[in-house]
Structure 1
């Protein structure tokens, strides 16, 4: 079994995990913006996620000779370690629920803001739990200032979202009425009611009809609109993007999106402590003489529960979709190859990112490994480069965005500096 036993190697793994975990949400969000149904994308992603976990277990988990206190992957599968397995399974379940929720939240409140809020709350709660579970392995005087930086980033992220929303509303309000009627308009609620305005309804209806026609043919919806030719940041671009995407957000209640964000945050805050308990048995649940689960075996069980729940829920969502997403079928999913390679890539990136995070955490402390939750550094970069978010926004939005990114850079440096040495 291959083990990372020094802080330098652990930090290198954390940096790789940060890159991978910050990139895969951008890939999944891009598929939704291009009209691919989230159920189809998540099914592909889930399959790739388990495949990568098995590869990690069969390679890193089988390298070298098996030892009594550090058995190889196959050796440990037959041992009586069910209490630890249950913790690993629980970690996979809450992470799956978190990813499912955030997939829809990305459409409602944007990739960058969703990642900022979820990751910051994850660090504030999860890192604190991991610090005490690891017996204060990490340096508190360094660790908690880093946590404070994440907490500040929460408020900055909320301010960025609010400022950018105001910018978009101003753009749309200045859009000429003929363009609104031809492309559709944001269905803001009439007089604070739950009924969207007529123009917004037409937009949703037209898009939904096109989606259903495409789903029947077994392919994902991709609008024939001129989004590619529209200038990023303009009202026309925002309207045409709404026509293409599979999750319609104009006229929706933003409270739904924020509720999904905070639910995902709680799930993300729990998965790392659950994995910590699975590999280190701080609560002494294993029988005497039974070795702790090694990180690769725990990650395998973690990925199995993620796979079972992810596949089961998304097959249900094919026929009983949520949040206004069009219906589909398993046959349509099998036939939908538009975007499948990218969805599979996202699953591999996420699985390797999680695996590297756990490997680094086992060596240097899971509290320090939570530095990878600064993935908004990466996802915001992709949001700007790929999705062209924040184009033509106000000076206030740009200043807040810069401050938010600086806080994440500081938090990554501080949290990694708090790394300890579990083996010593």
Structure 2
């Protein structure tokens, strides 16, 4: 089993995780804006996310000869370590609910604001919990001023969302009264043949991002319709996701270090690879149950679908699967870095979401 012990290696893992965890939300948002149902996208995402965990467990977790305190992945599966397994699976539950909530929040609040708020809540709560679980190995005078900055970011992000919502409402009200109640049908004179909804431009036409025409065209094409819905829906989903994200890392920390002494004497702690496997199993099962349910009983007025329709929907599947791989490897690298350098420090990886900033819409 490969064990990461150096601080330099831990930093390298966390920086690589920055890229992976900062990229996958943009891919999910892109697919939703192109009209792909979020249930279809998340099912594809969940499959490759789980495959990434399996790959990490069977390769890095099985390299070389294990010891009594650090057994290989397959050896540890047969050991009596269920208290730690349950903590790992609890962490996977929190992550799955958080990611799923984020997918819907992106449509209501926007990618940049959603990630700033959720990442900030994660750092404020999760880092504080991990600091004490890690027996205060990180320097408080460095760690907590940063936590304070993220707390400020929570309030600023909420204010930005309120400002954006009011701004968009004013633009649409001034442009036409036809969209106040969620009516998104465009008049002939208002249709813009733009193919690039991210930049609002094509070879034939140019639409400035953030304008009323841009907003209406985006609403026409996207899967989750947001016109006529309360802005509080987006904030609720965002804060719920942030609370979920703040709990999965402390749960994983307890699973691998057993700070509460729940394991029987002589039973080794879960290795990061075994814990990540159980963590990902839970995340995968919850995601599959919820999204298959949402196919037939959708939320937020999304159209009904079916498992057959999901299998036939190959448009954008590659991007969704890539997002799952990026998130899976990103989480694995974050946990590897956390085991070596402390999970409170590894929580700083959550600032990667801020690098996902997109143009405001």
Question: Aligned partners of 2:166 and 2:138: how far apart in 1?
Answer: 41
What residue in structure 2 maps to residue 87 of structure 1? Answer: 87
Question: Aligned partners of 1:372 and 1:19: how far apart in 2?
Answer: 9
Question: How far has the Cα of 1:105 moved from its partner?
Answer: 0.8
Question: Aligned partners of 1:161 and 1:255: how far apart in 2?
Answer: 10
Give the conservation status (yes or no) of the 8 Å contact 1:123–1:373: yes
Question: Aligned partners of 1:346 and 1:224: how far apart in 2?
Answer: 30
What residue in structure 1 maps to residue 104 of structure 2? Answer: 104
Give the conservation status (yes or no) of the 8 Å contact 1:227–1:237: no
Q: In the alignment, which of 352, 356, 360 is matched to residue 379 of structure 1?
A: 356
Does residue 232 of the first structure (1) align with residue 232 of the second (2)?
A: no
What residue in structure 2 maps to residue 271 of structure 1? Answer: 248
Question: Aligned partners of 2:123 and 2:138: how far apart in 1?
Answer: 14
Question: Aligned partners of 2:137 and 2:59: how far apart in 1?
Answer: 28
Question: How far has the Cα of 1:111 moved from its partner?
Answer: 0.8
Question: Aligned partners of 2:106 and 2:258: how far apart in 1?
Answer: 35
Question: Aligned partners of 1:346 and 1:82: how far apart in 2?
Answer: 31
Question: Aligned partners of 2:132 and 2:39: how far apart in 1?
Answer: 38
Q: Classify the secondary structure of the residue corresponding to 1:289.
A: coil
TM-score (norm: length of structure 2): 0.92
- Structure 2 residue runs of 5 or longer lacking an equivalent are 197-204
Does residue 345 of the first structure (1) align with residue 322 of the second (2)?
A: yes
Question: Aligned partners of 1:122 and 1:231: how far apart in 2?
Answer: 34
Q: Classify the secondary structure of the residue corresponding to 2:26.
A: helix
What residue in structure 1 maps to residue 284 of structure 2? Answer: 307
Please show how residues 14-413 of structure 1 align to structure 2 within 5 Å. Answer: 14-175=14-175, 177=176, 185=179, 187=180, 197=181, 200=182, 202-203=183-184, 226-228=194-196, 229=205, 230-380=207-357, 383-384=358-359, 389=360
Question: How far has the Cα of 1:171 moved from its partner?
Answer: 3.0
Question: How far has the Cα of 1:375 moved from its partner?
Answer: 2.0
Write out per-residue CA displacement over residues 352-397 of structure 1, whole angstroms, 9 at most, x where no aligned residue. 11101100000000000000110232211xx23xxxx36xxxxxxx
Question: Aligned partners of 2:273 and 2:17: how far apart in 1?
Answer: 16
- Structure 1 residue runs of 5 or longer lacking an equivalent are 188-196, 208-222, 391-424
Question: How far has the Cα of 1:225 moved from its partner?
Answer: 5.6
Give the conservation status (yes or no) of the 8 Å contact 1:227–1:240: no
Question: How far has the Cα of 1:278 moved from its partner?
Answer: 0.4
Question: Aligned partners of 2:168 and 2:235: how far apart in 1?
Answer: 18
Question: Aligned partners of 2:273 and 2:328: how far apart in 1?
Answer: 12
Q: Classify the secondary structure of the residue corresponding to 2:49.
A: helix
Question: Aligned partners of 1:320 and 1:271: how far apart in 2?
Answer: 27
What residue in structure 2 maps to residue 404 of structure 1? Answer: none
Q: Classify the secondary structure of the residue corresponding to 1:375.
A: helix
Structure 2 CA distance for partners of 1:225 and 1:316, relative to 1, 3 Å: farther
TM-score (norm: length of structure 1): 0.79
Q: Classify the secondary structure of the residue corresponding to 1:267.
A: helix
Q: Classify the secondary structure of the residue corresponding to 1:141.
A: helix
